[in-house]
Structure 1
Amino acid sequence: MPGGKIIAIANQKGGTGKTCTTVNLGIGLANQEKKVLVVDTDPQGDLTTSLGVKDIDDLPITLSTIMGKIIEDIPIKPQEGILHHEEGIDLIPANIELSAMEISLVTAMSREYVLRNYLQQVKQNYDYILLDCMPSLGMITINALSAADSVIIPVQAHYLPAKGMTQLIKTIGKVKRQLNPQLKMEGILITLVEGRTNLAKSVSTTLREQYGSAVKVFKTEIPKGIAAAETSAEGKSIYAYDKDSSVAKAYEAFTKEVLKDGEKQRHQYEPSLSR
């Protein structure tokens, strides 16, 4: 695979564990000696805050700055705006300025590909690039899906997601047909599972029955845990905060599933290059 694999973590419903998944998959991959860049594509800046960046509204360079330079065709220096986290991943931060970028994109040339044009410049430096998408299907999210090789959809276990999921899967299908023919559904990740309650079991079963034939549903399910909620305030991953917790063990298992899928896809890709 030329350059890193770009994965969008997306669901237009809020509160499904997108940011937590981006942080812990990213650092999980770094723990497996992969080079990882995480990109905050949400003006709320939750990913940026979760990785311990203070005063996010005072950051000199954010994703909005970088996308603005791509639109204006201004050269970007290597490593410009990229922050380094002590647990071994890189971050492109975001803040409220990204809301204005959503409006600027409306009149931009090749507006769906602005983020992709930037990521093509840096992807050779990474094994994985993870895009934490905002809970909407606006222009920034369309940019993320147009830039991505695949999508992971975190879904909360006590929310029956049929209607919202159908809308998201339709949007992903539309982006694939019209903008990014390479886009694949990496899979659905069931998150915030409350113990082994009957409700959690029934949501898990329903999801696997409804979508399992068309979309992979990851074997690993992420439990709900107090430690996971506390990590964002600490600016570190679940591994650094509470490595023996059930949440840390689940994210470690999930990371290995993603890596295994990545290896499979790479082996499928390599023979086609040598033809």
Structure 2
Amino acid sequence: GNATMGSGVDKHALERSSYEVLTGAADIRDAITKAEQAGYDLLPANADLTAAEVELLQMPQRERRLREALNSINGRYDYILIDCPPSLNMLTLNALVAAQSVIIPMQCEYYALEGLTALVSTIEDVRDNLNPFLKIEGLLRTMYDPRNRLAGDVTAQLSKHFGDKLYRTVIPRNIRLAEAPSHGQPALVYDKASRGAKAYLALAGEMLRREEMASAGA
């Protein structure tokens, strides 16, 4: 529900959500709503999504529920971003099975490197057994503080092991990014001139340039 509230949509006033879609109680086309402030369509979520984790375990093809739902709107969008929970659970597995690629956000901290190792292993397992098209799109450093020596050390490790998969753009620690969700607004609406908002705009530009280069080289 965090991405829902951060998009300016009230998660407490939803008629349908991703929970109903995953459990088969609603069609995804009926659950998608317009995030007016943000300017994009959204499949919203609320606290009910937590219950879906348990219910999915009892369902056939449980790891493919999201992919099946997204297949029904294939061709409707140029890009679909799936916001995942920070844990490797059934909801995250559904996202990995449905996705073509993964963007990994991470803080430049020691424990984040350990978590990254586990996530990369999971991605490889999913690619081998459930989704042969899955790849790592890029790694994004968040809450970045260049004054922190550890940030430089972690960056060096990421660059060594992932090369050009590491985005040049970093998302800095920025109070305006932290404030935006409490106002029910996307960061670009709350304060487009903030360092955090500008960083996300720069990231979008970098991602599009990468895609153009990949298409040109194909």
List runs of 5+ in structure 2 lacking aligned partners: none
Q: Name the stretch that deviates more: 168-177 or 58-67.
A: 58-67
Residue number in structure 2 paired with 1:5: none
Residue number in structure 1 paired with 2:65: 114
For residue 30 of structure 2, give the secondary structure of its aligned residue in structure 1. Answer: coil
Q: CA deviation at 1:58?
A: 4.3
Q: Name the stretch that deviates more: 165-174 or 226-235.
A: 226-235
Distance 1:262 1:250 in 2: 18
Whether 2:179 is the aligned partner of 1:230: answer yes
Residue number in structure 2 paired with 1:156: 107
Q: CA deviation at 1:260?
A: 2.0
Residue number in structure 2 paired with 1:66: 21
Q: CA deviation at 1:125?
A: 1.2
Opposite residue 147 of structure 1, the aligned amino acid is A
Whether the 8 Å contact between 2:142 and 2:171 is mirrored in structure 1 is yes
Whether the 8 Å contact between 1:112 and 1:139 is mirrored in structure 2 is yes
Trace 1:146-225 onto structure 2 (pairs within 5 A): 146-209=97-160, 211-213=161-163, 216-225=165-174
RMSD, aligned CA: 2.0
Whether the 8 Å contact between 1:63 and 1:94 is mirrored in structure 2 is yes
For residue 236 of structure 1, give the secondary structure of its aligned residue in structure 2. Answer: coil
Trace 1:1-275 onto structure 2 (pairs within 5 A): 45-54=1-10, 56-69=11-24, 76=27, 79-86=29-36, 87-209=38-160, 211-213=161-163, 216-267=165-216
Whether the 8 Å contact between 1:158 and 1:193 is mirrored in structure 2 is no
For residue 83 of structure 2, give the secondary structure of its aligned residue in structure 1. Answer: strand
For residue 132 of structure 2, give the secondary structure of its aligned residue in structure 1. Answer: coil
| TM-score normalised according to structure 1 size | 0.73
Q: CA deviation at 1:158?
A: 3.8
List runs of 5+ in structure 1 lacking aligned partners: 1-44, 270-275
For residue 125 of structure 1, give the secondary structure of its aligned residue in structure 2. Answer: coil
Give a deviation string over 1:38-94, Cα, whole Å, max 9, x none. Answer: xxxxxxx1111112223x24422000111222xx7x7x37x3111112231111111
Count of residue correspondences: 217
Distance 1:67 1:80 in 2: 13
Higher relative contact order (CA closer than 8 Å, sequence separation 6+): 1
Q: CA deviation at 1:250?
A: 1.3
Whether the 8 Å contact between 1:52 and 1:233 is mirrored in structure 2 is no
Q: CA deviation at 1:238?
A: 2.3
Distance 1:68 1:58 in 2: 19
Q: Name the stretch that deviates more: 222-231 or 259-268.
A: 259-268
Q: Name the stretch that deviates more: 248-257 or 222-231.
A: 248-257
Whether the 8 Å contact between 1:83 and 1:92 is mirrored in structure 2 is yes
Q: CA deviation at 1:103?
A: 1.6
Q: Name the stretch that deviates more: 193-202 or 58-67.
A: 193-202
Q: CA deviation at 1:161?
A: 2.3
Opposite residue 218 of structure 1, the aligned amino acid is Y
Distance 1:63 1:197 in 2: 39
Q: CA deviation at 1:162?
A: 2.3
Whether the 8 Å contact between 2:145 and 2:172 is mirrored in structure 1 is yes
Whether the 8 Å contact between 2:176 and 2:191 is mirrored in structure 1 is yes
Whether the 8 Å contact between 2:172 and 2:199 is mirrored in structure 1 is yes
